[in-house]
Amino acid sequence: MNKINKYKFLITGGAGFFAGHIAERALMLGNNVAIIDIFNSETTPVNEKIKNTKILEQVAVKNNVSFKIHKSDIRDAKSMEDIFLEEKPDIVIHAAALARDRDSMDIPLDFIQTNVVGSQNIINAAMKINTIKQFLITSTRSAVGQTLSATSLMTEDQPMRPINPYGATKLAMEGLFHSYHTDTNIPVKICRMQPTYGPRGRHDMFVWRIFNSIITGDQIQKYGTGDGVRDWLHISDAVDAVFSLLHTEIKFDAFNIGVSEMTSTNKLISLCEEIAGEKANIVNIPAIRGDAVFAGIADCTKIHKICGWKAKVKILEGLKKTYDYMIK
């Protein structure tokens, strides 16, 4: 696949943060796009999702391509089958999921139903048509688990040891799509995303919460000592990685997507406060169940060798862009 344009994309979770940016890029490149979204408020409020779809509608009109919204739940097998039969997509991006890893400790069956059963519903629906050229699946570093120290690299071939049901269900999803690929030989690319931030960001992610606290004065919680680390990835780099992989001829593989740099919780807070020139309203609480301390630094050697992709946006630059967007 040499150039990604004039294709039909079907994107699950497409009204949300990450998948919404993917949909926007697909439209800008001249593709027709349909999205599936339940329009819940787990990570992004419904009113924000509606705003996201308005942006996508405007981009579609500007680029003279079609954009369609299916308000539906991937747990609804019949609905998924009907949508796939109607849209007959060339490329499927599967990003819909329950994603709050801490919540998964309390409601694991909900995560199993959405992330595992819902993914199998997508696969079953895909089996009903013969137009699909490739799948791209958004997984997570949580499928791997955590590393031994703050400076440990997380590689694609290390043992998979998720520490919460969210990570476990995303790992199960990876296995289901490997089974689908083995059965059909349709290419499947898996993106193990590091925590992502940027304009239109998820309201449950710490970058958004820190800046929102600074802007509004709302109190937020910091878990544990603040020494835990994350490899924060700007949304523009994340979308670039997705489209780099869509251009490859790989049949099946999993890829780490990150900056390969660690930022502790305490450092992230200080950077945000430095950018805003004000303090966040933070209360310290003990570390909670299912929360990785050392989440790993993404070893992105594989995707760089295959696609030439490498993250460009450093944490300070990305945080400034995010704050400017939120202020506006």
| 173 contact partners, CB below 8 Å, separation of at least 6 | 97, 115, 116, 119, 137, 139
Question: 105: which DSSP letter?
Answer: T
**Phi/psi at 135 (nearest 5 deg)?**
-110, 145
Give residue for tokens 């001249």: 30
> What is the structure's pLDDT at 195?
96
β-strands 281-285, 219-223: how paired?
parallel
Using a CB cutoff of 8 Å and minimum separation of 24, what contacts does 182-188 make?
184/127, 185/251, 186/126, 186/132, 186/133, 186/134, 186/135, 187/133, 187/134, 187/135, 187/249, 187/250, 187/251, 187/252, 188/134, 188/135, 188/136, 188/137, 188/251, 188/252
With a threshold of 0.85, does the pTM exceed it?
Answer: yes
Residues 155 and 144: their CA atoms lie apart, in Å, by 9
The CA-CA-CA angle for residues 173, 195, 46, to 5°, reads 80
Report whether 138 contacts 96 (CB < 8 A). no
Residue 192's beta-bridge partner residues? 139, 256
Write the pLDDT tens digit of every residue in 166-213. Answer: 999 999 999 999 999 999 999 999 999 999 999 999 999 999 999 999
Q: What is the dihedral of CA 155, 256, 318, 284, to 10 degrees?
A: -60
- Report CA Rg, the chain: 19
Question: 194: which DSSP letter?
Answer: P
Report whether 289 contacts 167 (CB < 8 A). no
Write the pLDDT tens digit of every residue in 266-286. Answer: 999 999 999 999 999 999 998
> What is the structure's pLDDT at 293?
85
Ranges of residues in the chain whose predicted pLDDT is under 50 = 1-2
